[in-house]
A and B are shown apart, each in its own frame.
Chain A
Amino acid sequence: MSFLDLKNVTKIYPNGTKAVHETSLSVDEGEFMVFVGPSGCGKSTLLRMVAGLEDITEGDINLDGQLINEVDPSERDVAMVFQNYALYPHMNVYNNLAYGLKNRGIDKETIEQKVNDAAKLLQISDFLQRKPSMLSGGQRQRVAMGRAIVRNPKIFLFDEPLSNLDAKLRIQMRLEIKKLQQKVGVTSIFVTHDQVEAMTLADRLAVINNGIIEQLGTPIEIYNNPESLFVAGFIGSPQMNFLDANLNNKTLSAENFEIKNIDSDYNGEVTLGIRPEHLIESENGLINLKVELVEQLGSDNLVYGQIKNIKDFCYRSPGNQTIKRGDTLSLNIEENKYYIFDKSTGKRVN
């Protein structure tokens, strides 16, 4: 049995909403697991069930070999960082960090030492006497993390902790969280709706949609091999391009091109997915893209255009190229870098 084990966990709210469907998942000790999905997909509910803040309707959760379904949150030895940090507004930073330790009946000297160690690690030693209202967003974030670290819990739970920060700080804190987790080595679950955050932080990633884990794997596995239309569309930025197509006898016919010798026995209507970064310019390419808009990012250009009736088709070109509105580009797909999904079920078929 692994460190954290969810077995057929289901959450049904009193009003009948089913937030999480029979989800099973294990997290190894020291692993950084990320739950990613659109808002309302049940990822936070799942996290809160691990924390003990939501009752479990069905199923079992085991933490460190102990069934914790009925264990009170205060007894679970888990620490959580909330979206709005939930710092204690009337206590200074020192007491914010020390509160959990005091409740555990730890003696004063040990508390002081632990708080100071955590503060040093997070570089908040200078603010220990301040109230949370006197801190900036990034500092509050650190205090929230410090409050989790100082208790040395079995597991860290992060509930979208970066979504209140501005873009630059978010990237910086993302890095810091990852570094910190590697340094401290505590098992962590991180919930986010931001797929870049998810990709960069995770050892393993669970893509959740409508209360179901759609796919579980390392970020690169999921990026390279999305198993469903949802995962393909959700992971990757800019988003994967989708085209309607037909698959018959291993030949895929889209609106104005064909791909032969496809490794699939499926016949019928499908959706073809191509990532913008998997296209290359070539003479007599499969796809003719009429350029409508170019976003220059410096390192890359994001080219949006039209193929016959399909709008906003995206192609990522190297940044040194000059492409203008009105140009027509001839594009090929990198070898085997396309994904075919059953149009009705959304399941991958190639």
Chain B
Amino acid sequence: MKIKPLQIVAHIILIIGVLLMVLPIWISFASSTHENVSILTEGMRFTLGDQFSRNYNEVLNEKGGWSEEVTAAKMFVNSFIMALGIATLKVAISAMSAYALVYYRFKLAVPIFWLIFITLLVPLEVRIFPSYKIVSDLGLTNSYTGLILPLVASATATFFFRQFYKTIPDELLESAKLDGANAWSFFIDFLVPLSKTMIAAMFIFMFVYGYSQYLWPLIMTTAEEYWTVVMGMKIIYTESYEGVALPRTAERFAYIILSMIPPVLVVVFLQKWFIKGLIQTEK
């Protein structure tokens, strides 16, 4: 096969793109396997070092925080629970609200939809004080419920599900009705399986969204046992700067690498559906 010059150029551009994406991760990983001293003296590393198991073991199991009570492992669990809760509830609630908006033809359906849509303009960061007030009045600070609940409504997902449901032909509903399906069984037997690729795509988006929350958990949690990974990145090794100890750069890199694993796993497992959900509909 003859290779055209244009193809070579295209491939070079693509390779540059890949390197831009991959190199920072590789440098972080390579650096995380060295000793702190060598990073401090020689800068970031491109080659693997010999401190892999020591650094990662330390990161996962060392107790950190102000009162030295929380380990990174615990924070991973917290983040995972939070992201899972947010993603699951967001998808479920959005799918159901879109179902109501599309299939129950009440007069206010369109205004209500736009009202939901407008909330996109009011992210959590904007309404953080009222949200905190409500959650704290309900006594939900320092709990998983408090971490998850204020984030479970999603205008974006509602919008996507609504657009998808609108493309499902009316005859399908009518036919299902004549086959004896009620409102709930139509949702479960038809809309959910038909939109499973969409559900997977939304789940990934929402999982990453939940996982990367920073401000809300920071404000919400005073007890260290509810700290999340993204908070921990800032907090967990701060005390090390004080005194004579060296900055623990290698452990920080190890921590960063570990923190990327859960979202990556979710994407890897759901990516087949995720891509389908974005490029085609199974109808």
List A residues at the B interface (Cβ < 8 Å): 51-53, 72-74, 76, 78-80, 82-84, 86, 88-90, 99-100, 103-104, 147, 151
Contact = CB atoms under 8 A, between A and B. Distances in A.
Contact of B175 (A72, A76, A82): A82
A86 B169 contact: yes
A99 B178 CA distance: 11
Nearest to A97: B179
A82 B171 contact: yes
Interface string B189-206: 110011000000000000
A74 B180 CA distance: 4
Nearest to A148: B178
A94 to B, nearest CB: 14
Nearest to B195: A90
Given A90-B194, A99-B189, A74 B169 contact: no
> Most chain-A CB neighbours within 10 Å: which of B178, B180, B189, B190?
B178
Contacts of B194: 89-90
Nearest to B196: A90
B182 interface: yes
Interface of B: 169, 171-172, 174-182, 185, 189-190, 193-194, 282-283
10 contacts: A73-B174, A73-B178, A74-B181, A84-B169, A86-B171, A88-B176, A88-B190, A89-B283, A100-B180, A151-B179
Contacts of A104: 180
A78 B177 CA distance: 10
Nearest to B179: A100
A103 B169 CA distance: 21
Contacts of A51: 174, 178
A158 to B, nearest CB: 13
Nearest to A83: B171
Interface of A is mostly: loop
Given A82-B171, A90-B193, A99 B177 contact: no
Contact of B182 (A74, A76, A86): A74
A103 B185 contact: yes
A86 B180 contact: no
Contact of A147 (B171, B177, B179, B181): B179
Contacts of A90: 190, 193-194, 282
Nearest to A74: B180
Contacts of A80: 174-175, 178
B102 to A, nearest CB: 17
Given A74-B179, A84-B171, 4 more contacts: A53-B177, A74-B180, A89-B283, A100-B178
A105 to B, nearest CB: 9
A52 B283 CA distance: 26
Contact of B172 (A52, A88, A100): A88
A103 B178 contact: no
Nearest to A103: B180
A115 B169 CA distance: 25
Contact of A99 (B169, B179, B282): B179
Contacts of B171: 82-84, 86
B177 A74 contact: yes
Contacts of B174: 51, 53, 73, 80, 82, 86
Contacts of A103: 179-181, 185
Contacts of A76: 178
B177 A86 contact: no
Q: Which 9 A-B pairs have the closest CB atoms?
A: A103-B180, A100-B179, A86-B171, A86-B175, A74-B180, A90-B193, A73-B177, A82-B171, A53-B174
Contacts of A78: 178
Contacts of B181: 74, 99, 103
A83 B172 CA distance: 11
Contacts of B176: 88, 99
B170 to A, nearest CB: 9
A73 B183 CA distance: 12
Nearest to B171: A86
Contact of A79 (B169, B178, B182, B283): B178
> Most chain-A CB neighbours within 10 Å: which of B177, B182, B283?
B177
A201 B38 CA distance: 90
A89 B180 contact: no
A90 B168 CA distance: 12
Nearest to B185: A103
> Most chain-B CB neighbours within 10 Å: which of A72, A76, A82?
A82
Given A82-B171, A82-B174, A103-B185, A89 B282 contact: yes
A72 B183 CA distance: 12
Contacts of A52: 177-178
A82 B171 CA distance: 7
A306 B194 CA distance: 58
A166 B169 CA distance: 22
Contacts of B175: 80, 82, 86, 88, 147
B193 to A, nearest CB: 4
A180 B79 CA distance: 61
A24 to B, nearest CB: 24
B179 to A, nearest CB: 4
A99 B174 CA distance: 14
Contacts of B180: 74, 100, 103-104
Nearest to B192: A90
Contacts of B283: 89
B280 to A, nearest CB: 12
Nearest to A98: B179
Contacts of A79: 178
B92 to A, nearest CB: 19
B251 to A, nearest CB: 49
A73 B190 CA distance: 18
